[in-house]
A and B are shown apart, each in its own frame.
Chain A
Amino acid sequence: MNYKEHKSEPFWWGMFSQGGVIAALLIPIHIFLCGLAVPLGLIDPELLSYERITALLQNPLVKLYLCVLLIFPLYHAAHRIRFTLAEIGLHSLAKVLPVLCYGGALAGTAVVLYILWVLL
């Protein structure tokens, strides 16, 4: 066996870990507030009204926060999906999966940036 230190895996793994931390700390409360509390009427629906959200998005700090929240977890998921698919039967695709998964995360990154900093 001829071993060679792998140069790009640390990068993807680093993004995966960052995304893992962000998802662990921030995603549950977001799901609860926007996905359950408001739709179920547990808290005032006005909190997610068009006026309030667009006003909040004027603040660059809010935009920056959303960038972090929406981008890093994509790499986290891409990494896990890449390996899990190989582990549950697509092992023969082990070479293509990284391209598909990380490619998806990169595309997602572009979409998020475009929406937040160009469209809005």
Chain B
Amino acid sequence: MSDLRTIKITVLRYRPEEEDEPTEQTYEVEFRDDWVVLDALNHIKDHIDGTLSFRWSCRMGVCGSCGMMVNGEPKLTCAAMLRDYYPNEMHVEPLVNFPIVRDLVTDMTDFMDKLKAVKPWIIREEEKPVSEGEYLQTPDQLKDYKQFSQCINCMLCYAACPVYGLEHDFVGPAAIALGHRYNLDSRDEGNQQRQHVIASKEGIWECTYVGECSVVCPKHVDPAEAIQQTKVATTTNRLKSLVMPWGNKK
């Protein structure tokens, strides 16, 4: 059992009914060696200041709801150890690039809309009846998209993306990666239904490969790579259809 240490945590607060702009509030938290940032926030809420609002659920890096800016970087607060920041002071803010609803809680409506737009589910030209069984897939075919299917919708990648920060119409890393995930799925036939979203002006062409989305992604989804692969594929298909207009598009 290790000793308790005290760390200073400055939290960005926003109480819309009282103030028009966020303010900062500093708390001193005694923490144990195995505490994560989320533990400190829960400690504050339970013992110091019950008015602090933030989201969390699983406490194990699965639900994707505890993302915040920790010292300027988007992090899952349930996976960021306090001891890695000690003895420096810490700054905890809500994810940037999203509107703040209250304290550390942001409005994710924009992301949800974009997610829906890329139709992240298996699309068949014709559904086969349930009685004919499931759509089969080999382990090799699974490998093609597995990495892109690991997304937990935590939106850290959107907070990391300056392109999204500047242009909120940008479909963005996770949504494109998830569309790509279904495009790569051997059971899916919905490529054409996603292309007008993914290959739109607001889609892949907005991306300049800053690459920060892939750095901050806690699940190693590598959305930047998904976008890059889609750019290459779209460009080659376009070239093919110019050279051979009669060739049937996939």
Contacts and interface: CB of A to CB of B under 8 A. Distances in A.
Touch A–B, Cβ below 8 Å:
yes
Interface of A: 1, 3-7, 9-11, 13-14, 17, 80, 83-84, 86-87, 91, 94
6 contacts: A3-B197, A6-B199, A6-B203, A10-B231, A13-B205, A17-B235
B231 A3 contact: no
Dominant secondary structure of chain A at its interface with chain B: helix
A6 B201 contact: yes
B163 A87 contact: yes
Interface residues of B, number: 24
B113 A1 contact: yes
B196 A1 contact: no
Contacts of B197: 3
Given A10-B234, A13-B235, A86-B166, A5 B196 contact: yes
Contacts of A80: 208
Contacts of A17: 232, 235
Given A1-B113, A1-B169, A83-B208, A11 B238 contact: yes
Contact of A4 (B166, B169, B200, B232): B200
Contacts of A83: 208
B195 interface: yes
A9 B205 contact: yes
Nearest to B163: A87
Given A87-B162, A87-B163, A1 B202 contact: yes
The 9 closest A-B pairs by CB, nearest first: A9-B205, A3-B200, A10-B238, A3-B197, A10-B235, A5-B196, A14-B235, A83-B208, A6-B201
A4 B231 CA distance: 15
Contacts of B202: 1, 3
A79 to B, nearest CB: 9
Given A83-B208, A87-B208, A91-B166, A4 B235 contact: no
